[in-house]
Amino acid sequence: MTATTPAGNGLPYRVPLDGLPDSVRIYEVGPRDGLQNESAVIPVEVKAEFIRRLAAAGLTVIEATSFVHPKWVPQLADADELLDRLGPMPGVRLPVLVPNERGLERALRRGVTEIAIFGSATETFARRNLNRDIAGSLEMFAPVVARAREAGLRVRGYLSMCFGDPWEGQVPIGRVVEVGARLLELGCDELSLGDTIGVGTPGHVTALIAAFGAAGIGPERLAVHFHDTYGQALANTLAALRAGVRTVDASAGGIGGCPYAKSATGNLATEDLVWMLHGLGIETGVSLESLVATSVWLAERLGRPSPSRVVQALARRLNEQEGSQG
């Protein structure tokens, strides 16, 4: 049986759905959130090439690295060198994660124009990840955000464990809104709501965004960051889009995002997201073919296949076409 292109040109058919936006901004986290969980050392030139390829595929916001202390995340110890190699990339925003004031100083020295801080909605994860309670972490972030804003930087606030916590279990929606509101009050431009362990479902997403709305925080200030651990990320994304969210985090090839098991499914794959968005007639500016080629290229360097369904399906089809031509 000769397998030909399932959808003609290998792209999804466009059939719009009422109530959804014309365009969505994809916030690409693969180079930072994906690669920070790699056990192998990735050469800095591979990281730079990865980012260049992502930009060439049409992604305009790419979280490049983290100025965390190398002791905590040795995989990103090359942050300075990476940014030097990249240089300025016109039309592409390259935010970097910054854990504290020392990290911000390094970022400012490199000419970074956009940072992200990483907070937690639960006390247990705050203590484990930030070594202080939620109140203490907000105290730590306050001068970072203030100084960054003074320097004209854009600031994103991540809020993790918004839909469940591996130690605390269910996380009350009111608590998530409370901590999220404080991050925005510190001066964050955008708040990214993270389902760090991937347990959320679409009603939970809808209820959380509505609760932010009731607290005066509209969906234009929110982004969503879903993990596909339980396969729910795209259904949750659909619910978030319906609720008015216009910025969606994703990781090329679905790499990274699950610190609990090395090869586990973690971040929503950018390709799976793009397939749905383009199918819905929503513009992203991304070339799906270029993106899949990038993830296949990276998977070869990481030595294992991408967990993205779209990458698997399109890479397989490419192989079959090559096989049938040979």
Catalytic positions are 258
With CA atoms as reference, report the closest residue to 54 among 284, 231, 266, 263: 284
Residue 146 has a CB neighbour count (10 Å cut-off) of: 13
**Residues 31, 252: Cα–Cα separation, whole Å:** 8
Interface with a second copy includes 175 (CB under 8 A)? no
Considering only residues 6 to 45 of the shown chain, the ones binding a second copy according to CB under 8 A are 6-8, 12-17, 20
Interface with a second copy includes 131 (CB under 8 A)? no
Interface with a second copy includes 239 (CB under 8 A)? yes
- Min separation Cβ 142 and a second copy, Å: 29
* Shorter beta-carbon distance to a second copy: residue 49 or 168: 168
Instruction: List CB contacts of 246: < 8 A, sequence separation 6 or more.
Output: 21, 23, 24, 25, 219, 220
209 close to 240: Cβ distance less than 8 angstroms? yes
- Min separation Cβ 106 and a second copy, Å: 27
In this chain, which of 272, 295, 302, 306 binds a second copy, going by CB under 8 A?
272
**Residues 237, 200: Cα–Cα separation, whole Å:** 11
- Min separation Cβ 275 and a second copy, Å: 5
- Min separation Cβ 90 and a second copy, Å: 32
DSSP 137-192: HHHHHHHHHHHHHHTT-EEEEEEE-SS-BTTTBS--HHHHHHHHHHHHHHT-SEEE
In this chain, which of 66, 160, 192, 232 binds a second copy, going by CB under 8 A?
232
> Helix, strand or coil for residue 293?
helix
The residues binding a second copy (CB under 8 A) are 1, 3-8, 12-17, 20, 128, 163-167, 169-170, 197-204, 206-207, 228-232, 234-235, 237-239, 259-261, 264-265, 269, 272, 275-276, 279-281, 308-310, 312-313, 316, 320
